Amino acid sequence: MTFFMRLQGVLLPTLLLSNNIVADSEVSIVYSVANPDYKPFESTGGYAISGQFYFDNGLFLSGYFNETDFKASGPYVGNVDVESWAELGVGFSFDHEIGKFYSLITVESIDTAQKVYDGYGVHIGYVKNLTHNWKAVAQAGYLDTDFDDWQLMGKIDYALSDVFSLTLGIQGLR
């Protein structure tokens, strides 16, 4: 099954279940640095775009595309040269008195110099509004493409206005 056929299967049911996008939705343009933990590999930088679109019933769509070239480390040292990474997903979030919790299922497409790895991801996360301007996010997930891996992500946002914010984040694979 191709990446775009999987995308249709994710997007169409979500759009049919809700028609109101709410204010928490966001689009981010990101400068990304890949820093493999294998010392002979250099850190590289590039650009990424991400977005989350929340609906009034708790459902949301999530997308991410990163065009930062890097050499994978860990168990894949020397075997995988990543050229871009895309993920699209559908999730469900709910508010609790201590913050917002969410679950997310994604379709993944990792374009490498050798081949394209397609698969899926399953993630859980937590969002906490620390103050009016500060927000923290933590996420853990499992990726299953031709190889499998665990993913951790953390970020903190500072809202400069209702439209613009600064974000510092870190995302890592096993």
Q: What is the CATH number of the domain that holds 117?
A: 2.40.160
- Count other C-beta atoms under 10 Å from residue 104's C-beta: 21
Q: What is the pLDDT along the chain (174 residues), one digit of tens a residue?
A: 455 455 455 444 544 444 455 557 788 887 877 665 555 666 677 888 888 898 888 999 999 998 877 766 655 556 677 788 899 999 999 999 999 999 999 999 988 888 888 999 999 999 999 999 999 999 999 988 877 788 888 989 898 887 788 888 777 765
Q: Total domain count for the chain?
A: 1
Are 136 and 155 in contact by the 8 Å Cβ rule? The answer is yes
Amino acid at 84: S
Say what the pTM is.
0.77
Q: Which domain holds residue 26?
A: 3-173
Question: Three-state DSSP class for 3?
Answer: helix
